Amino acid sequence: GRVLAADVISPADVPAHDNSAMDGYAFASSDLTTQTDLTLNVVGTAFAGRRYDGKVGSGECVRIMTGAVMPQGCDTVVPQEFTQMAGDDAVIVVAGTVRAGDNRRLAGEDLALGKPVLAKGKVLRPADLGLLASLGIGQAPVQRRLRVAFFSSGDELRSIGEPLEAGCVYDSNRYTIQAMLARLGCDMLDLGVVKDDPAALDAAFRRGCAEADAIITSGGVSVGAADYTRQIMGLLGDVLFWKIGMRPGRPMAFGQITSNGKQAYVFGLPGNPVAVMVTFYFFVREALLHMMNARQDRLPLMSVRSQSAIRKKPGRTEYQRGILSADHEGRQQVRVTGSQGSGILRSMSEANCMIVLHHEQGNVNAGDMVEVVLFDGLI
């Protein structure tokens, strides 16, 4: 999950030498005929990590293992299963089973000396680490981890382990936010549950501003009498926007605050658990990746058939939780995960995709095509 801070240039060819892609016999393609079987004398064996140093002449071959360096004079490998032994020291290549150059991996075929391997801004994945290791590179420059502070606000919220009084609920948002930030590779500062009190919120914002690059809050950005988050954001800086034409997640705020000469971006997310996750995935995630100087592509949309009717009002974008599957003919289809209320966290837990219903789109009929975003690679 770390982000490359500079291009990585290949210090060598990979593979370093022409080598065999198969277990078989290496020989010169000039010996090939397409009309009759070819008989070759076996003059040696080449192993991976132990090359055959002799020269291979016309009518000769070398027994070779996968990954072994191609012997001098050889440019083709016939797989073992396409041959027949002719005594102890000869092999017959069945006519028509191999062409010139088959099963030979060329030096630099994977990576060429001096060519870019990984670009600055690349978010490193396991395959990238293996690629670096294949070049003998044990260290690469990466961006500093983005530090993100987060808290939930609300007098009714309790952390896990605390008793629940009447009218109180356990705070789930901090735990989902923490997991989503961990997936992005962020350093995290958990500021806990903050009461619906202007002084307490002011203190939390100031601490987050002092110790982090960005702050994520959940709750307190709507129009309730005790919703102070947006108010404190405005006192400490600028609220750049509030409310989005989407569902769930309409009461989302974004801005920048300043405290003691230091600035931090603030993402004020709604209090409903599903709305927190949807706004994070479709707004906060992209912004944080940008702050990390990470290269990113737009999330791919897949067009699939809806298994049922979906109600939708034009004038807002909706993100409904869905289950993507294949029908008996292998065609992709999607269905919603039951009730789509913004407080029903189970609808996210059961889903494997998000159904994207665009701004001017209306009701969807069963059998209509809709667009989905897969969770794999996103969550």
Q: What is the pLDDT of residue 220?
A: 73
Q: Is the dihedral of CA 197, 203, 207, 212 positive or negative?
A: positive
DSSP single-letter state for residue 245: S
- For tokens 């987060």, the residue is 150
Residue 51, SS3?
coil
CA distances from 330 to 304, 325, 342 (A): 12, 9, 32
Q: What is the pLDDT of residue 291?
A: 96
Residues with Cβ within 8 Å of residue 333, at least 6 apart in sequence: 304, 305, 306, 307, 324, 325, 326, 327
Give percent helix, percent strand, percent coil of the chain, each to the nearest 5: 20, 35, 45
DSSP single-letter state for residue 112: -
Q: What is the pLDDT of residue 341?
A: 79
Digit-coded pLDDT (tens) for 14-44: 899 999 999 999 999 999 977 789 999 999 9
Q: Do domains 147-291 and 302-374 have the same CATH topology?
A: no
- The torsion angle over the Cα atoms of residues 271, 277, 278 and 284, rounded to 10 degrees, is 100
CB 117 within 8 A of CB 10: yes
First to last CA, the chain: 13
DSSP single-letter state for residue 367: T
Query: What span, in angstroms and rounded, lies between the C-alpha atoms of 355 and 341?
Result: 14
Residue 248, SS3?
coil
* The domain defined by 302-374 carries CATH number 3.30.930.10: no
Low-confidence ranges of the chain (pLDDT < 50): 225-226, 379
- For tokens 């277990």, the residue is 23
- For tokens 């298994």, the residue is 307
Digit-coded pLDDT (tens) for 190-245: 999 999 899 999 999 999 999 999 999 998 766 554 468 888 998 999 988 888 88
Query: What span, in angstroms and rounded, lies between the C-alpha atoms of 117 and 356?
Result: 35
Identify the CATH number of the domain defined by range 147-291: 3.40.980.10
* Burial label, 97 (beta-carbon count in 10 A; 0-12, 13-18, 19+): middle
How is domain 19-105 classified at the CATH fold level?
Molybdopterin biosynthesis moeA protein; domain 3 (2.170.190)
CB 311 within 8 A of CB 368: no
**Domain locations in the chain as residue ranges:** 19-105, 147-291, 302-374
Residue 284, SS3?
helix
Q: What is the pLDDT of residue 224?
A: 55
Q: What is the pLDDT of residue 379?
A: 46
CB 241 within 8 A of CB 222: no
Q: What is the pLDDT of residue 222?
A: 60
